[in-house]
Amino acid sequence: MILIRSLEKAKAELLSGKEWLEVLQEIKEDFSRIPAARLEYFELINPESFEKQENFLPGVRSSICAAAYIGEVRLIDNLSIIP
């Protein structure tokens, strides 16, 4: 399933030191390769305030929230990043 794989990939890449915007671009490219999939949003957030984060800060708790359509079905998911 592309949604959970994307969340796990993004988490691993952020923890390895990649910049958020670079990770986000890769995820968008991954979705563009699957004709039936359409990414609605893929956001890095502060899990307490739900504010979007521009960058991942090691040692600071974050979450990635995502929504996508697979065909006509809308799926949502999230993944915590706890350093």
Say whether pLDDT at 58 is over 90. no
Q: Domain containing 63: what range?
A: 2-81
Q: Among 47, 68, 34, 20, which Cα is nearest to 10's?
A: 20
CATH number of the structural domain spanning residue 10: 3.30.1300.10
**5-53, pLDDT tens digit by residue?**
999 999 999 999 999 999 999 999 999 999 999 999 999 999 999 999 9
How many CB atoms sit inside 10 A of residue 9's CB? 15
pLDDT at 1 over 90: no
pLDDT at 69 over 90: yes
pLDDT of residue 72: 96
pLDDT of the residue at 59: 87
DSSP 18: -
Number of domains in the chain: 1
Strands 37-45 and 73-81: unpaired
Judge contact between 67 and 76, C-beta under 8 A.
yes
